[in-house]
Amino acid sequence: MTLDQIVKMQSIIDKRAIRSDTLEFLNQTRYSDSKKANIRFGDMHIDHFLTVVSNDFININNGEEKEKSFHEMLEKVKKKIIKEFSHGNH
């Protein structure tokens, strides 16, 4: 599931328009070393996005304790997303 899909589902569930700053973020790109191309955030699968954010956070903070707590937080977010959107079918 991509970030675009998640945000669209959220807007339907919440019955609210997608915020303009969210749309601006989804349209930003980052360079992918593995694909040798710029990738739009909105096109990223949630697992890939969380990995990128996690790696960037760890590289910035470079600390084991922060790394551990951030990975734990990402796992909680991932489980919540799966629970909310997959209805147990992941």
Q: What is the pLDDT of residues 57-79, one digit of tens each?
A: 665 555 555 556 667 777 777 77
Residue type, 17: A
Residues 6+ apart with CB under 8 A from 52: 30, 44
The whole-number average pLDDT for the span 13-22 is: 90
Q: Rounded to whole angstroms, what are the CA distances from 50 to 12, 13, 17, 21, 23?
A: 23, 22, 24, 19, 18
Question: 2 - beta bridge partners?
Answer: 45
Digit-coded pLDDT (tens) for 24-70: 999 999 888 888 999 999 999 988 888 887 776 665 555 555 556 66
Q: Alpha-carbon distance 71 to 77, whole Å?
A: 10
Q: What is the per-residue pLDDT for 90?
A: 44
